[in-house]
Structure 1
């Protein structure tokens, strides 16, 4: 009785599976990165909108508005999101290639906290801004 083993075939199949798995993981990493980029663009765009609302808003008293500061913070958080997510993308890509990927919670916590604080700033800005009844920002 003769037994024939084909270890070469098994190794090739395993290698193909690992390459496919790695390609799927890389694609997921790229989709996540693009999602972070969309979020960053939205934050920067919202910052511009807030600054532009200051121009449309007709204040009751003629003090200097602080809306531009909130808009600037939105834009800075958006820019920071671009920088952090780019670094995170390359770090995860390297970890995928080395089979050492471990998800981390700190980035999710950081980004959620930043967006939550910005949301509170928007709510404060909307309710604390003194506007006249003829303002385009808050309709009757």
Structure 2
């Protein structure tokens, strides 16, 4: 009986909801991976543009390639910052049993990624028009 009392005294609020906290951590790590991928795609597109460009020099294509690279870095950093704040907020909400899923992070990142994809599309239209 005394052992059970000792265990309950050592139990923290976090350990009460350990499954939820572990799921929150896995979600955080998935977002970190996503942010690294977003940044990597920007580097890839920019490097491929300047390394394999066989068409005549096009200022608009160069500008769009640079814009894709820079915007991917910015969106990747924003993703990392938002997910870090979200991770800690969700941890507190899990412990207080007041968890609510976040809409703003998903909406903001969807808008930012859509803008990058629009620039991707413009870039490819310009490059293909020159081929």
Q: Give the TM interval when normalised to the shorter protein.
A: 0.7 to 0.9
Please provide the CA RMSD for this pair. Answer: 2.5
Pick the aligned partner of 1:22 from 17, 21, 39: 17
SS at match of 1:58: coil
CA spacing shift, 1:21–1:109, aligned 2, 3 Å: farther
Pick the aligned partner of 1:111 from 109, 112, 116: 109
Deviation of the 1:108 alpha carbon: 1.2
CA spacing shift, 1:28–1:62, aligned 2, 3 Å: closer
Pick the aligned partner of 2:121 from 117, 120, 123: 123
CA spacing shift, 1:92–1:126, aligned 2, 3 Å: same
Pick the aligned partner of 1:54 from 49, 58, 66: 49
SS at match of 2:17: helix
Deviation of the 1:131 alpha carbon: 7.1
1:31 partnered with 2:26: yes
Quick check: which has more Rg, 1 or 2?
1
Q: Flag structure 2 segments of 5+ consecutive residues without an equivalent.
A: none
SS at match of 1:129: helix
Deviation of the 1:100 alpha carbon: 1.7
Q: Flag structure 1 segments of 5+ consecutive residues without an equivalent.
A: 1-8, 134-140
In 2, distance between residues paired with 1:60 and 1:91? 51
Aligned length: 120
In 1, distance between residues paired with 2:68 and 2:101? 32
In 2, distance between residues paired with 1:60 and 1:85? 41
In 1, distance between residues paired with 2:111 and 2:34? 14
In 2, distance between residues paired with 1:46 and 1:130? 20
TM-score (norm 2): 0.78
More displaced stretch, 93-102 vs 78-87: 93-102
TM-score (norm 1): 0.73
